[in-house]
Structure 1
Amino acid sequence: MKILLVGQFKRWALENHYAKYLLNHADVSIYPAEDVFDDYYRKSIYNKLKVRAGLSGIYDRISEELLARVDTEQPDVVWIFKGMRILPKTIQAIRDMGAKTANYNPDHPFFFSGPGSGNRYVTEAIGLYDLHLCYSHEVQRRIEREHGIPTAFLPFAFELSGEDFDEIKNTPEVPTACFIGNPDKIRTAHILALAKAGLPMDVYGYGWEKFLANTPNVRTHTAVLGKEFLKTMRAYRLQLNVFRPHNEGSHNMRTFEVPAVGGIMLAPDSPEHQEFFTEGKEIFLYKNIAEMVAKAKHILSLPAEEAAAIRHHARQRSLQAGYAYEHRAAQAFEAFERVLSYEAVQ
């Protein structure tokens, strides 16, 4: 099978994990549509103004380059991540060329929480794909109900080699709460609730000093990346997970990243969190801010032996249940095989 991945491929992009692990199953190539757009947009103020006025021609350029790649490589599947830079007519053209099209939106195809989470091209193209890979059961059901298109459940995952875990596993514990991520009003409200309850907290991300300046019990730090990100998740007694609106009822990337390093996660209660982990043994869940505060106090008061057991159970569940990107890539490949097999039967 030949698979062409279309999306963003800069250092921290989700697409890189799939490009890496799909090589275990198929011939893989990439077209960095989002990077082409981003490089053009950020090059000058003039380019930004042209894009905003609809006069840039960058979307047509991306379409031409992508269609040329499809024509040259003849992939069986073109897998488009999110699709903000792909014109709907381009997706139809790819199908007309004989390739199957698949979409994976790590935000939400129906609800945009910010300017980078979606645009009209995402919405207009939903019904044009042969397959939607969805991190959310609710999104799956809606696409099937409204568009009658095949879907497959593809949750988020973690990327952590055994060697990287060995480097961080003996990180000394910091006996306080932590949040890692950039600021918004929802996250700020949760952090302030913990701080008001007297719980010390370290917060990592870009720009938190504007939201939490001079807040008692809170220390702000710049963002952590790479190995420092892994060590920070591992170190603290409690890692707080807060849903953004498009994740409500589902899960997010921290769902798997924190347990994988052996962190203790306090996360929103949702059907998918209950599906992935055992509450009280591997993670902790809260239904509202009051319960979040109560459970945070409980986690911070746990004896060291109990906390160590939860860390162990969380990591073992992550490994044994196949929550790594390597396993998710295999799931995606199986979904592509089903779509291609269905076409062959037809």
Structure 2
Amino acid sequence: MARARGPVVSEALRHRSRQPGRGLGCGGVKLVYHGPFWAGSTALQRLEAFGAVPGLTVLGHEAGTAPTDTATLGQRLAWRLGWPIDAARERARLLAFVAQTRPDVVLIDSSKVFGPLDLRALRAAGARLVAYYTPDDALNPRNLKAPLRASLSDWDVFFTTKSFNLPELSALGVRRPVLVGKAFDPVLHRPLSPAQVGPQFERFDLVFAGSFEAERALALQALARSGLSVVVYGGVIGGWPSGGPHPDITLRPAAFGQAYVEALHHGRLALGFLRRQSRDRITQRSLEITAAGRPMLAEKTDEHDAHFKDGRDYAGFTDIDGLIALARRYLADPAARRALGEAGRRRCLDSGYSTRARAEYMVEILDAALSAP
């Protein structure tokens, strides 16, 4: 069952008040950000980025959910039927917190339990604007549960990281859908030295961090059969062959936060697979890998090529044979491998892909929505 953690995230990085500056904070505007702030979560990274925006008072409100939570049979059944159970009492706790703090803006990250009546209650409690953020495919049935579907037209702003969601959301009545790019945390996602990583530094030819998918497993098996060693973080559970993966594939539990960044350094090359179920064209991992200075081999897409130059900032492949050829090429050329990693990181730093830059952009959008007649 999901854990109902404390209602206020009060540590210094999660509850900040800044001096007046430009944007949303100019008039002393207060933002309540509701999300899953477990250690290593991207929601926590976004909260810290909001806390660094000048002139903005940010109050973090913990959703009370984490990937390690164990759902009951009833909760799993309700989820499959599209009516998630609010086991962490997110709705009641957030409403009480809003009534207590009376923020101007409430921004809800990823939760699926808030419906139209909840948004109405939040506004009655003092919120001038209620916004939603999702890092996932909003229209995927795994994400578009009944409360969220019913409330689509009631959000003042709806942030999505999926470009293809914009016309889909508009067609479903969302008033102000806004695309915000994927991001990396400039403090967390950085190059590490062999001394910082330890004996696992570049122990394997390739590293992949992510969940199991059949297409990914096929590619990983092919890489191993070609004589390359692969370590996978997060692929322990899944539909691997009954005999298990190839002997040259090492499966390890998912890693988060600093452990995740260290894991990216365990391979000489890092893999950037997309998630078919989410219709991915680029992932958060694409930016995290490159920002950490790791040479990335990723599926070639229009959005990867919009963010990075193929052959300079990353190496794109379109099929398994092409992936194997790229891996062999870069493994045989340490200088080219190093140059690929350095160029990818430089592109991230120079192009405004950081969580801080994304937070500032979202603040501009929220400011405009507050000022709209």
Contact 2:63-2:90 at 8 Å conserved across structures? yes
Matched, 1:221 2:271: no
Q: What's the offset of the Cα at 1:298?
A: 2.6
SS of 1:35 mapped into structure 2? coil
1:110-259 matched pairs, under 5 angstroms:
110-112=139-141, 114=142, 117-161=143-187, 165=191, 167=193, 172-174=201-203, 176-205=205-234, 207=236, 211=240, 213=244, 215-259=246-290
Contact 1:239-1:265 at 8 Å conserved across structures? yes
Aligned Cα root-mean-square deviation (Å): 3.3
Q: What's the offset of the Cα at 1:282?
A: 0.7
1:91-102 matched pairs, under 5 angstroms:
91-96=119-124, 97-102=126-131
1:16-27 matched pairs, under 5 angstroms:
16-25=44-53, 26-27=56-57
1:9-20 matched pairs, under 5 angstroms:
9-20=37-48
Q: What's the offset of the Cα at 1:294?
A: 3.0
| Structure 1: distance between partners of 2:303 and 2:97 | 37
| Structure 1: distance between partners of 2:99 and 2:320 | 53
User: Paired residue for 1:77?
Assistant: 105
User: Paired residue for 1:108?
Assistant: 137
Residue type at the aligned position of 1:9: F
**CA 1:101/1:127 → structure 2, altered by over 3 Å: closer, same or farther?**
same
User: Paired residue for 2:16?
Assistant: none
Q: What's the offset of the Cα at 1:180?
A: 1.5
Q: What's the offset of the Cα at 1:321?
A: 1.3
Q: What's the offset of the Cα at 1:206?
A: 5.3
Contact 2:155-2:174 at 8 Å conserved across structures? no
| Structure 2: distance between partners of 1:147 and 1:207 | 40
Q: Deviations over 1:61-90 (max 9, x none)?
A: 533332222222221111111221223320
| Structure 2: distance between partners of 1:107 and 1:162 | 21
Contact 1:83-1:121 at 8 Å conserved across structures? no
Q: Deviations over 1:291-318 (max 9, x none)?
A: 33333333323x2211111111111111
| Structure 2: distance between partners of 1:222 and 1:46 | 24
* Larger deviation, residues 5-14 vs 159-168: 159-168
Q: What's the offset of the Cα at 1:246?
A: 4.4
Please give the TM-score of this superposition, normalised by the length of structure 2: 0.78
SS of 1:238 mapped into structure 2? strand
Q: What's the offset of the Cα at 1:55?
A: 12
User: 1:333 aligned to 348, 352, 363, which one?
Assistant: 363
Contact 1:177-1:238 at 8 Å conserved across structures? yes
| Structure 2: distance between partners of 1:179 and 1:38 | 20
* Larger deviation, residues 99-108 vs 216-225: 216-225
User: Paired residue for 2:4?
Assistant: none
Residue type at the aligned position of 1:120: A
**CA 1:101/1:214 → structure 2, altered by over 3 Å: closer, same or farther?**
closer
1:259-278 matched pairs, under 5 angstroms:
259-278=290-309
| Structure 1: distance between partners of 2:297 and 2:230 | 13
Contact 1:6-1:79 at 8 Å conserved across structures? yes
Matched, 1:298 2:341: no
Contact 1:133-1:152 at 8 Å conserved across structures? yes
| Structure 1: distance between partners of 2:68 and 2:236 | 22
| Structure 1: distance between partners of 2:240 and 2:127 | 51
Matched, 1:29 2:55: no
Residue type at the aligned position of 1:99: R
Contact 2:39-2:257 at 8 Å conserved across structures? no
Matched, 1:310 2:340: yes
| Structure 2: distance between partners of 1:104 and 1:57 | 20
| Overall identity of the aligned pairs, in % | 21
**CA 1:139/1:173 → structure 2, altered by over 3 Å: closer, same or farther?**
same
SS of 1:333 mapped into structure 2? helix
Contact 1:208-1:220 at 8 Å conserved across structures? no
SS of 2:246 mapped into structure 1? coil
Unmatched 5+ stretches in structure 1: none
Please give the TM-score of this superposition, normalised by the length of structure 1: 0.84
Residue type at the aligned position of 1:71: A
User: Paired residue for 2:354?
Assistant: 324
| Structure 2: distance between partners of 1:54 and 1:320 | 41
Residue type at the aligned position of 2:258: K
Contact 2:35-2:111 at 8 Å conserved across structures? yes
**CA 1:56/1:186 → structure 2, altered by over 3 Å: closer, same or farther?**
closer
**CA 1:211/1:164 → structure 2, altered by over 3 Å: closer, same or farther?**
same
Residue type at the aligned position of 1:257: E
Q: What's the offset of the Cα at 1:249?
A: 4.8
Contact 2:154-2:174 at 8 Å conserved across structures? no
